[in-house]
Amino acid sequence: MDDSLVATQLAQDARIKQAKELLLEAIKEHQQKITTIRPPLAQHKKTYQETLQAFAKQRGIKMWYPYLGSGIGHGALVELHDGSVKYDFISGIGAQYFGHSHPTIIEAAIDASIGDIVMEGNLQQNIDTVILTKQLLKASGMDHCFLTTSGSMAVENGLKIAFQYRHPAYRILAFERCFSGRTLATAQISDNALYRQGLPNTLAVDYVPFFDADDPAGSTANAVATLKSLLARYPDQYAAMIFELIQGEGGFYPGDVRFFEAIIEILKAENISVFIDEIQTFARTPELFAFQYFGLEEHVDIVTLGKAAQVCATLFRTAFKPREGLLSQTFTASASAIRASYAMIDNMQRDGFFGPNGKIAEVNHYFIQNLENLHSRHPDLIRGPFGLGAMVAFTPYAGESKDTITLAHALFEAGVIVFIAGRNPCRIRMLPPIGAISLEDIDNVMAIIEKTLIKLKP
């Protein structure tokens, strides 16, 4: 570090070091009060409900869960503002990868809080951005990295890059059941009509059937035939195909390397960009990137990431480098998010999260074992797929949407936060906080899930 910089001198100031130690010590002490789930405290119930009602009116939309955090948690446990404590096994749909009140994240946020700005952006970025960008490029093997504020914006930037590269091609290919976001463009790609109600058509999108694990050869042949038919119908009109290697919102369906390679071979012959959407899969397979887990490194042109990374980004090859003016924004991300991002990724890579014997593989194996045992005891209560890596899902009962939603809310009341995914069947999905979770946490949550499934059995 360059001691001639005032910022370095500030960071090394003994008072700053002491203040950080005191803050972390105080947080750790209070975290010890959060050791298990608990119901709301009686004295907070009325005001909590009133706050929820007022907030729903203010934002114009009721929240899916009555969740307002108090601002502290302990690993996979989180305290709500009504005094209740719950297991967070959805982690903000994948964002709270290290759980709640993790010292690594808090320390990064403290360091950011004494910096000169809250938000970094296109015109003024601190050295933090350079460090994170370099880290992501080294980890991914890609050539360029453009940071941005949200997963939807990362996908939007990827689309702009792909369209400019392939101009005048104007169509996009995607998989059935895919999810790309909720902006005007990404809602058009997401294969759910509910997300497009009342919106104008903004993109021409065509869908290819996804991989079916029950019929690998047949589903691959079907996808290839559909793709070839679309290419014949719209020659030279496709700019890119967006790949979710594991479909998240669509129901937690993993793909297969041979399936992907069969599709990619055709795309490459037509000079159609291979666009990998890793907003949800980043850091949730036994490799940091899902495209690395599936061995697709040599084929990838554009990659988006987010959620677990705290900061979202669009990565791309040099051939796709956009012309000046295409990509810009006021905000890149907050300084605390940027610092937390590279601290978290460094922690993941250093502390054995990846590989066949890493923590992700261990958690997955333990989850699958528990879910399979539950299925064996109660075959009418749940069925698979159960998921891949740190993406876990099961179909409750017959997979009816109303039953799955009822179960999710019942689990919330019982002390476990999960979410739903997919249609026909509708599944319970979990994105557990890998950086904080223990096998004991899984045991505790599985016991609650089993008890609640039995109680609500249709």
Residue 11 lies in a domain: no
- Rounded Cα gap, residues 292 and 300, in angstroms: 10
User: Which domain covers residue 184, as residue numbers?
Assistant: 111-350
Same domain, 156 and 202: yes
Q: Rounded CA gap, 194 and 339, in Å?
A: 36
**Which pLDDT score, from 0 to 100, does residue 194 have?**
87
Looking at the fold, whether 320 and 256 belong to one and the same domain comes out as yes
State whether residue 405 is helix, strand or coil. Answer: helix
**What per-residue confidence (pLDDT) applies to 1?**
61
Domain's final residue, options 350, 379, 406: 350
Domain-terminating residue out of 327, 350, 373: 350
Statement to judge: residues 201 and 344 lie in one domain? yes
The span from the CA of 428 to the CA of 408, in Å, is 7
Q: How far from each other are the two terminal CA atoms of the chain, in whole angstroms? A: 63
293 with 322, same domain: the answer is yes
What CATH number corresponds to the domain at position 434? 3.90.1150.10
Same domain for 213 and 125, yes or no, is yes
116 shares its domain with 249 = yes
Last residue of a domain, one of 350, 373, 397: 350
Q: What is the dihedral of CA 368, 403, 53, 192, to 10 degrees?
A: 80
Looking at the fold, whether 260 and 139 belong to one and the same domain comes out as yes
Please report whether residue 81 resides in a domain: no
Q: 388 and 247: one domain?
A: no
Query: Residue 57 CB: number of other CB atoms within 10 A?
Result: 10
How much of the chain is in helix, strand and coil states, percent to nearest 5?
45, 20, 35
B/e letters for 416-452, b = 16+ CB within 10 Å, e = fewer, are bbbbbbbbebbbbbbbbbbbbbeeebbebbbebbbeb
Q: 227-254, pLDDT tens digit by residue?
A: 999 999 999 999 999 999 999 988 889 9
Is residue 101 in some structural domain?
no
Q: Is 67 domain-assigned?
A: no
Based on the domain organization, do 147 and 284 belong to the same domain? yes
Residuewise pLDDT in 10s, the chain (458 residues) = 678 999 999 999 999 999 999 999 999 999 999 999 999 999 999 999 999 999 999 999 999 999 999 999 999 999 999 999 999 999 999 999 999 999 999 999 999 999 999 999 989 999 999 999 999 999 999 999 999 999 999 999 999 999 999 999 999 999 999 999 999 999 999 998 888 999 999 999 999 999 999 999 999 999 999 999 999 999 999 999 999 999 998 888 999 999 999 999 999 999 999 999 999 999 999 999 999 999 999 999 999 999 999 999 999 999 999 999 999 999 999 999 999 999 999 999 999 999 999 999 999 999 999 999 999 999 999 998 788 999 999 999 999 999 999 999 999 999 999 999 998 999 999 999 999 999 999 999 999 999 999 999 98
Residues 313, 369: one domain?
no
C-alpha to C-alpha distance for 296 and 287, rounded to whole angstroms: 12
> Do 405 and 327 sit in the same domain of this protein?
no
Residue 92 in any domain: the answer is: no
302 assigned to some structural domain: yes
Residue 314 in any domain: the answer is: yes
Peptide linkage before 200 cis (omega within 30 of 0): no
- What's the CATH code of the domain at 244? 3.40.640.10
Q: What pLDDT digit, counting tens, does each position of 132-141 carry?
A: 999 999 999 9
Greatest Cα pair distance in the chain: 69
> Pairing relation of β-strands 204-208 and 171-175?
parallel
Is 346 in the same domain as 388? no
**Domain count across the chain:** 2
**Does any domain span residue 5?**
no
Provide the whole-model pTM.
0.96
Backbone angles phi, psi at 78, to 5 degrees: -135, 140
- In the block, residue with structure tokens 């601190």: 126
